Structure 1
Amino acid sequence: MTVSTALPLLATPQPARHPNPTVKAQRLAYLIFERPDLDTAERFLSDFGLVVSQRNDDTLYLRGTGPAAYCYRVHRGEKARFVGFGLALATHADLQKLARLPGASAIEHTRAPGGGERVRLRDPSGFLVEAVFGQTAAPALQHRAPLPLNLADEAPRINATQRPPIAPPEVLKLGHVVLEVADYQATCAWYTEHFGMIPSDVQVLPDGSPAVTFMRLDLGDTPADHHTLALAQGFMPAYSHSAFEVVDADAVGMGQRVLHERGWTHAWGIGRHILGSQIFDYWQDPWKDKHEHYCDGDLFTAERPTGLHAISPEAMAQWGQRMPRSFTKPKMDLAAIRALLHNLRHSPDLTLRKLITLARLFA
């Protein structure tokens, strides 16, 4: 692990690789939401750049241009909420291993686009995780090629102009999901132990306690995205955002133009992250849940060690708009207040001092 000497000694154990995980997840397969209005959900997600794969009276499936049959599932529900996500496995034997874990479902066939089988689990924070195997790939959809850039020492574009289409950017794939949790250590450990997640980078508070872990898939020598799942210390389990890859920075910029012109609410961007390096832009859906367009993210093999960094607003982006306070401001209602009081009493990772420190850091 890479540790900066400017940081204090760690007050709590860091998330770490597990020496013998139950399985090693291969891909973030899809997200699962509930929404009271599927028409409105479809309108936002289509403007965002996803494509409807299948729809019936109660469920909406959307995909990107890649081979995944779908990457976003919306169930009709009375309340808008994030339910969980799917992780694709390498073998049927992996599915059997997970089915033997305490609380896991039996192996089930799924009727979703792409078919296959799944095992349903709950992580320590209560999020649904569907481990899936045997999904049939869908024919890839066309997307435009990355624009050739004229650089200082190389100019491939002569007697030609840049004119990307004014349209929603084509989403290539679902990249990552970020969640807030109260039981931070237990939840991090569950994903490293059972799905082989590798902590790429950990952000810590001034007292050395971990606040955010960016975790990638263990694909061995095959490069993996800097993070597929990120977990942040919060006072209750909550969805933070999800991220979708587009072909280049012009696609990120075109997404901002189209979503602005169609009346959606901007959250943060455009900028370039420090950890992960993505060029990013964040938008809120009709229920104020954040969705990110990104391109040019870091790729790490399994040999890359974990990095350790101090958390601060300045650590969120290399350039662009400073992260607004509204980006991390929690949705406070009676249920959230009850969860806050409960978790302050019962979560081993949550203290009033930690919450005050986080609030002051991002004020």
Structure 2
Amino acid sequence: MTTQTDSVVLTCAQPSRHPAPTVKAQALTHLIFERPDLDKAEAFLTDFGLLLAERTADCLYFRGTGPAPYLYRVQHGASARFIGFGLELASLEDLHRLAELPGASTISASPHPGAGHYLTLRDPSGFVVEAICGQASVGSLTHRSALSFNAVDALPRINSPQRPPIAPAEVIRLGHVVLELADFQATCAWYTQHFGFIPSDVQLLPDGSPAVAFMRLDLGDTPADHHTLALAQTFMAAYSHSAYEVVDADAVGMGQRVLAERGWKHAWGMGRHILGSQIFDYWQDPWGDKHEHYCDGDLYTAERPTGYHPVSPDAMAQWGQRMPKSFTKPRMNGAAFKALLVNLRRSPDVTLRKLITMARMFG
């Protein structure tokens, strides 16, 4: 179930769906970060539109207006780093299947909001995956309705001006997370084999090797987000960004206004993506990690085949500001230089030619 698009030639192995995955993940439940300053983290996330659900001496839990008990966990730590994320499973039987994988922890009761049972795994790039089942949902909170829209062929709004409130964008749910990898092929294969992810679209370098894989959940005939997990080839494992759904484009725009007025650093937007189609806007938290507001994303069922496309800065948005060079620029420090040298020798996916190509392409 694959197709070639955009006149690209597939000369290398590509991410593909697995014929018999260990389990099929049902949802992205939460992200896990460590931060040295919980107050600073709370200030940004509140202005971004998340709601504090619970605070302990060393941990913050944030939710959206949807029924998830929490979608963002901030643990106190000596340094700022991304730890991993949670995936919901359909049953306890699925959890026991994952428990047989190498490196899986024992199954235990979750101490986090919503309870349930969970175990932890590490993917081939070292990111933590908390697989959870039986997590209880909570009551949804009220958020404003999407604003009606006067189109040339339909005029529902008469004698009724648009006045969205000047307030942080109301985050409804966690949409996706994007990770950067050295071991691209092994990590993609791990998620397709063990969690049933389906590559929706793959972006290719000029030599035909994969650079980015946008992967969705396999929910059968139930529509799933174009991507819940996206993986990008670089020279080391790192967090790229995470995305949070808001009700409409006015919420994206109002979120931009509020975050700008409160002094936070803008990263990119507004615009509309090509792959996934989301209207987007990106902001940096106090430690430089990118967070995206979005609305109007594509939904695919399991039958949709994989698309293949050339990668370039122009392939990132249909309209809006061109993706700035700073958006993909790695943070070069001692640890990054060490990872570069180690992975050039160790990883089959990291080559000097590939890195030079990406550097020229993205600046």
Report the TM range for the smaller structure's normalisation: over 0.9
Mapped partners of 2:311, 2:6: distance in 1: 15
Check if 1:120 corresponds to 2:149.
no
Check if 1:8 corresponds to 2:9.
yes
Mapped partners of 2:130, 2:10: distance in 1: 37
Matched residue SS, 2:53: strand
Matched with 1:279 is 279
Matched with 1:169 is 169
Matched residue type, 2:8? L
Check if 1:159 corresponds to 2:159.
yes
What do residues 325-351 of structure 1 show as CA deviations (whole Å, max 9, x unaligned)?
000000010000000000000001110
Q: CA deviation at 1:5?
A: 6.8
Q: Count how many residue pairs are aligned between Structure 1 and Structure 2.
A: 362
Matched with 1:74 is 74
Matched residue SS, 2:343: helix
Query: Which consecutive unaligned segments of at least 5 residues does structure 1 have?
Result: none
Matched with 2:307 is 307
Change in 2 beyond 3 A, CA 1:338/1:92: same
Matched with 2:261 is 261
Mapped partners of 2:151, 2:6: distance in 1: 37
Matched residue type, 1:8? V
Matched residue type, 1:315? A
Aligned counterparts, 1:214-233, within 5 A? 214-233=214-233
Q: CA deviation at 1:4?
A: 3.1
Mapped partners of 1:332, 1:142: distance in 2: 43
Mapped partners of 1:183, 1:157: distance in 2: 52
Mapped partners of 1:44, 1:264: distance in 2: 8
Matched with 1:320 is 320
Mapped partners of 1:205, 1:137: distance in 2: 42
Matched with 1:103 is 103
Q: CA deviation at 1:223?
A: 0.2
Matched with 1:335 is 335
Matched residue type, 1:2? T
What do residues 213-269 of structure 1 show as CA deviations (whole Å, max 9, x unaligned)?
000000000000000000000100000000000000000000000000000000000
Mapped partners of 1:119, 1:81: distance in 2: 21
Check if 1:182 corresponds to 2:171.
no
Note if contact 2:6-2:308 (Cα within 8 Å) is conserved in structure 1.
Answer: no
What do residues 22-51 of structure 1 show as CA deviations (whole Å, max 9, x unaligned)?
000000000000000000000100000000
Matched residue type, 2:245? E
Mapped partners of 1:6, 1:219: distance in 2: 29
Mapped partners of 1:275, 1:65: distance in 2: 26
TM (norm. structure 1) is: 0.99
Matched residue type, 1:139? G
Matched residue type, 2:108? E
Check if 1:57 corresponds to 2:57.
yes
Mapped partners of 1:360, 1:3: distance in 2: 25
Matched residue type, 2:324? P
Q: CA deviation at 1:9?
A: 3.7
Matched residue SS, 1:34: strand
Matched residue SS, 1:154: coil
Matched residue SS, 1:211: strand
Check if 1:192 corresponds to 2:192.
yes
TM (norm. structure 2) is: 0.99
Q: CA deviation at 1:132?
A: 0.5
Mapped partners of 1:226, 1:136: distance in 2: 26
Mapped partners of 1:26, 1:5: distance in 2: 31
Please identify, of 1-10 and 349-358, the stretch whose mean Cα deviation from structure 2 is larger: 1-10
Mapped partners of 1:8, 1:151: distance in 2: 40
Matched residue SS, 1:357: helix
Mapped partners of 2:73, 2:4: distance in 1: 39
Please identify, of 235-244 and 105-114, the stretch whose mean Cα deviation from structure 2 is larger: 105-114
